[in-house]
Each structure stands twice: as structure tokens, then as C-alpha cells.
């Protein structure tokens, strides 16, 4: 067996924030390339105007953009401020993930809990940025979640692999079945496959119960947010709805506070 590093939270929060910044840089690639159906790994980052490659030091999250003062080194074309903003938000979410798991900074990092919350929180950035405009969730998000689900099953205090597998099958499979039946009833696609994959990954990270609770809570949240939003924007109800961001938000909520929320909900039903 390998030994798990013992890192105090006050230090670990910055380490995870750093990883958040790096993932933020990668999410910029996803946000640009996935909707355009471009390969993710190749070519390396380049200026979309003059195609010249971005130098390594200018690829440093946030700082690279500041060094360049928001312009391409070669052709002086503007580089969107969206890039450093995405990186900064992802870094901040990573920091928050650690502190939500560990309000007490003197504890040691519990990787079995921090890793899933870290992944679920930082991936809200690509989910929101791609799903809202395109009704699409980059596959990297659920694939990473599945990998973390597997990794965590090797850690003390993590979910065991049987629970993970049942979670994947029941949460992902259940939502797939639900979407399929709704699709037949409504005679149109009720839900994207991206939502199903996302929920399968949730199942791997927190088991089927909390994942199902996340979908139910997400439906309420979507209703509360989207009905007024559509009234204000005078959008029709037939326009496709991005459900991914709502499931995405409820993932870490259920991971962190699911036991209490589910208990409260059962209590409510008893009256
Ligand atoms: Zn350029």
C-alpha cells in the first residue's frame, strides 16, 4: 500500500487552489474546443488570430494574461479577459472546496472527502460555460468524476468500490431510464446524455442515494430559477433547458450536507 500524505488544511487549501488554477487553464481549452468539436489535446494553445503558439510562461494561469496585458505577443490581437477570469474562479472554487469540507483549518486534509468535492466544485465552471449556451457537458467532467470515485475507494474513509459501482449503475442508469421514458411521453429529448453521465459520476463519488437526491433538488432549483428567468426574457418553454448546471450545483451540496437535507425532507413528509 502507498502512504497518504498528511497535509494540514491551512497548507492544503493553497495547494488545491493552485491545482484549481491549473485546471482552470485546461477548462479554458475545453470551453473553447468542445462546442466547436475540436480535439482537446492537439494542437497546443495558440493565438486564434495569428496561430502562433503561446509560450510556456504565458500559459501560467492568470499571470500569463497579465504579463501579456491581454494581447497576443505576436499580432497584438486582444485575448479575452474570460481566460484569466475562468482560471481565477476555478482556483477560488478549489480553495472553497477544501474549506467547506474542513471549516477547521488545523485539521489534516481528508482526501476521501476533499477530492470529490474539489472535482464537483471546479467542474461547475466548464459545465456552466458549455451547458448553458450549448446544452452539452464536456466528457472530461464525468470521466474525471469516475476516476476520482475509483481512487477514493482506495483511501481510508472513502466509499468502497461496490457502493461506487452500484452508484454508477443506479444513478446513471436510473436517470437514463427516466430520460428515455420522458422522451417517449413528451415525444422530444427530455434530457441530454451529458446529464446521465454526470449523474453516473456522482454515483461513483457519493453512492446512489445522494445522487438521486441531487437530481430531485436540481429539478426544484431549475424550476425556481428558470420559470422567472424565462418570464423576464420572454423565452418560450419549448427552448432547450440546460439541466447540467443545476445537477452540478446540487452534487457538492448533497455530498457535504445530504444526510441532513434528506433527514429534513423525510421529516417534512411525515406531517
Ligand atoms: Zn496572435
Ligand 1 centroid to Cα of residue 65, in Å, is 13
pLDDT of residue 256: 97
Q: Which residues of 104-132 are buried (b: 16+ CB within 10 A; e: fewer)?
A: eeeeebbbbbbbbbbbbbbbbbbbbbbbe
0.75 surpassed by pTM: yes
Ligand 1 centroid to Cα of residue 44, in Å, is 14
DSSP assignments along 206-262, one per residue: HHHHHHHHHHHHHHHHHHHHHHHHHHHHT--TTS----HHHHHHHHHHHHHHHHHHH
Ligand 1 centroid to Cα of residue 69, in Å, is 13
pLDDT of residue 240: 74
Name, in order, each residue with C-beta under 8 angstroms of 224's C-beta and a sequence gap of 6 or more: none
**Distance (Å, rounded) from C-alpha 93 to C-alpha 168?**
25
pLDDT of residue 190: 67
Ligand 1 centroid to Cα of residue 140, in Å, is 28
Ligand 1 centroid to Cα of residue 68, in Å, is 11
Grid coordinates representing 262? 434528506
Tell how many helices (H) and how many strands (E) occur in the chain: 10, 0
Biggest CA pair distance of the chain: 68
**Distance (Å, rounded) from C-alpha 72 to C-alpha 11?**
35
Domain ranges of the chain: 1-109, 137-271
DSSP assignments along 66-127, one per residue: HHTTTB-TTT--B--THHHHHHHHHHHHHHHHHHHH-SSTTSBP-HHHHHHHHHHHHTHHHH
pLDDT of residue 2: 63
Q: Which residues of 226-247 are buried (b: 16+ CB within 10 A; e: fewer)?
A: beeeeeeeeeeeeeebbbbbbb
pLDDT of residue 114: 97
pLDDT of residue 186: 80
Ligand 1 centroid to Cα of residue 54, in Å, is 9
Q: What angle do CA 243, 198, 206 make, to 5 degrees?
A: 120
Per-residue pLDDT of the chain (271 residues; tens, 9 = 90+): 567 889 999 999 999 999 999 999 999 999 999 999 999 888 888 888 898 988 888 989 999 999 999 999 999 999 999 999 999 999 999 999 999 999 999 999 999 999 999 999 999 999 999 999 999 999 999 999 999 998 998 898 888 899 999 999 999 999 999 888 888 888 777 678 999 999 999 999 999 999 999 999 999 999 999 888 888 888 776 777 889 999 999 999 999 999 999 999 889 888 6
Ligand 1 centroid to Cα of residue 58, in Å, is 13
CA atoms in the 13 A half-sphere facing the CB of 165: 3
Ligand 1 centroid to Cα of residue 113, in Å, is 42
Ligand 1 centroid to Cα of residue 45, in Å, is 11
pLDDT of residue 65: 94
pLDDT of residue 234: 80
Ligand 1 centroid to Cα of residue 17, in Å, is 29
Ligand 1 centroid to Cα of residue 168, in Å, is 44
Ligand 1 centroid to Cα of residue 52, in Å, is 6
pLDDT of residue 1: 53
Ligand 1 centroid to Cα of residue 46, in Å, is 8
Amino acid at each position: 500500500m502507498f502512504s497518504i500524505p498528511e497535509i494540514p488544511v491551512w497548507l492544503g487549501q493553497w495547494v488545491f487552489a493552485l491545482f484549481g488554477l491549473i485546471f482552470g487553464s485546461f477548462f479554458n481549452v475545453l470551453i473553447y474546443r468542445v462546442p466547436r468539436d475540436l480535439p482537446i489535446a492537439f494542437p497546443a494553445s495558440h493565438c486564434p488570430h495569428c496561430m502562433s503558439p503561446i509560450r510556456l510562461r504565458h500559459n501560467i494561469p492568470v499571470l500569463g494574461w497579465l504579463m501579456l496585458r491581454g494581447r497576443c505577443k505576436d499580432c497584438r490581437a486582444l485575448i479575452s479577459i474570460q481566460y484569466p477570469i475562468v482560471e481565477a474562479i476555478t482556483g477560488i472554487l478549489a480553495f472553497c472546496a477544501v474549506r467547506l469540507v474542513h471549516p477547521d483549518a488545523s485539521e489534516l486534509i481528508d482526501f476521501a472527502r476533499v477530492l470529490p468535492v474539489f472535482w464537483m466544485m471546479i467542474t461547475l465552471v466548464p459545465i456552466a460555460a458549455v451547458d448553458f449556451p450549448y446544452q452539452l457537458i464536456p466528457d472530461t467532467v464525468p470521466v474525471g468524476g469516475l476516476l476520482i470515485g475509483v481512487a477514493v475507494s482506495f483511501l481510508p474513509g472513502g466509499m468502497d468500490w461496490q457502493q461506487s459501482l452500484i452508484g454508477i449503475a443506479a444513478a446513471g442508469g436510473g436517470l437514463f431510464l427516466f430520460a428515455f421514458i420522458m422522451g417517449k411521453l413528451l415525444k422530444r429529448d427530455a434530457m441530454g446524455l451529458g446529464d446521465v453521465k454526470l449523474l453516473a459520476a456522482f454515483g461513483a463519488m457519493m453512492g446512489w442515494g445522494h445522487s438521486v437526491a441531487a437530481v430531485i433538488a436540481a429539478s426544484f432549483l431549475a424550476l425556481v430559477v428558470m420559470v422567472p428567468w424565462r418570464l423576464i426574457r420572454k423565452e418560450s418553454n419549448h427552448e432547450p433547458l440546460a439541466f447540467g448546471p443545476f445537477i452540478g450545483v446540487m452534487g457538492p451540496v448533497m455530498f457535504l450536507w445530504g444526510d441532513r437535507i434528506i433527514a429534513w425532507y423525510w421529516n417534512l413528509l411525515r406531517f
